[in-house]
Chains A and B, each alone.
Chain A
Amino acid sequence: MNSRILLAGFLIPMAMIIAAVPSNKTKQYKLTANQLLQEAVSYEPYIHPDNVADMLVQQDPSLQLIDVRTPDEFDKFSLPGAINIPLSELLADQYVDLLDQGVKMNVFYSNGTLKSNEAWMITRQLGYSNNYVLQGGLNYWAETIINPVPPASTSPDEEIAKYNFRKGASMALGGDVDTKSAETAVPAVPVITAKQAKKRVAGGC
């Protein structure tokens, strides 16, 4: 009888403790290569520049742009309100609270999408949510927002409306988009022209 009371006297208080404490929500899992592939295939991390520009113009506080390029590139040109987390610094302790949170929408960007995709992959691997990638990177941003191509006069109204929005956004965000942006945009020109045809087919956001 004694051992039973001892057992009950140990297990019941332990169960009461475990019932009283909050459960551990720490995300410590690591995706296997297979799961990561599934994520990459099924989950669309891209945010179109139009949406980002819209949020910027409306000064949406939930948007957090994260520049994953080097500090030098960041100083030359960056999007309004963006913070700089170079890809090599992504795992630094000081950025954990920024990357692992449930309130803001983090949008990674780099010149193209290679670095921002890598940043997204790493944060997915860590189990963080609310992280996205700027579609096409700054090259596509330059093409769509900074220097939007006027549609033909025969284009549908929505194409023209989109162009007007982009033109307006370009002006509204012009504070940061000065002559320097042209420098950074120049190397992207071949990419822009290459993508031109594709963009027409793909249509809007």
Chain B
Amino acid sequence: MGPLAANEIISQDTNLIFAFLIGIGFGFVLEGAGFSSSRKLAGVFYGYDTVVLKVFFTAGITAMIGLLFFSLFGWIDLSLIYINPTFLYSAIAGGVIMGAGFILGGFCPGTSFCAASIGKIDALVFIGGLLIGILIFGEGYALWEGFYNAKFLGIPKISESLGLKDGLMALIIVLVAFAMFWVGEWAEKKFPREEY
């Protein structure tokens, strides 16, 4: 049955409407969970607030288990799910830039729009920087095109390279996630901050 768009059960245009609605829901929940506060977001790097880690990993493992069950019931064909292909060097460079920007600015791209929507000025500045970054990347594309496309690895899956079943890998990730939550909560007690 699924994915609905890939199996042409819904059209690409309907797909965009769903994406729009899910996007609004995503932003709404992010704002409701306090993700529009850059202090809260930066807390994960200093250990006083690990809600970012907990929320995103909970969402990740819930979606992962849900998809595996959907696949088990034949509701979705996982081979049709789009997975970002890996370009190793640009993935590393992108991760470093994104991480540095996250610590400096206190937002990730999604949460910056979230915070801008409730009128935070620092978020507007962050979005300005984001647009400048896009402009530099786009205009200078010829300069880093080779690097950008280097070391293409296809769509590697950790479970495949370890020779594990997807379900077993999912169990390991869930256990690791809960261990991380436990470490996170420990860090919150260890490095508490009164006001942020």
Contacts and interface: CB of A to CB of B under 8 A. Distances in A.
A24 B167 contact: no
A16 B171 contact: yes
Contacts of A197: none
Interface stretch (B17-25, B42-50, B57-65, B142-150): B57-65
A20 interface: yes
Interface SS of chain A: helix, strand, loop or mixed? helix
Nearest to B164: A19
Contacts, number: 55
Contacts of A28: 1, 74, 77
Contacts of A193: none
A116 B74 CA distance: 30
Interface in A1-45: 4, 7-8, 11-12, 14-16, 18-21, 23-24, 26, 28-30
Given A18-B69, A29-B77, A29-B80, A23 B166 contact: yes
A20 B166 CA distance: 10
A7 B58 CA distance: 9
A11 B62 contact: yes
Given A12-B175, A18-B170, A23 B165 contact: yes
B180 to A, nearest CB: 12
Interface residues of A, number: 18
Given A11-B62, A18-B72, A24-B71, A29 B170 contact: no
A14 B68 CA distance: 10
B79 A18 contact: no
A125 B175 CA distance: 39
Q: Bin the interface of chain B by size.
A: 20 to 34
B65 A14 contact: yes
B178 A8 contact: yes
Given A15-B174, A21-B72, A29 B168 contact: no
A21 B167 contact: yes
Most buried by B among A18, A20, A26: A18
Most buried by A among B58, B165, B167, B168: B167
Interface of A: 4, 7-8, 11-12, 14-16, 18-21, 23-24, 26, 28-30
Which 8 pairs from chain A and chain B are nearest by CB?
Answer: A19-B171, A15-B174, A18-B167, A15-B171, A19-B167, A19-B168, A18-B68, A14-B65
Given A18-B167, A21-B72, 8 more contacts: A4-B181, A11-B62, A12-B171, A12-B174, A15-B175, A19-B165, A24-B74, A29-B77
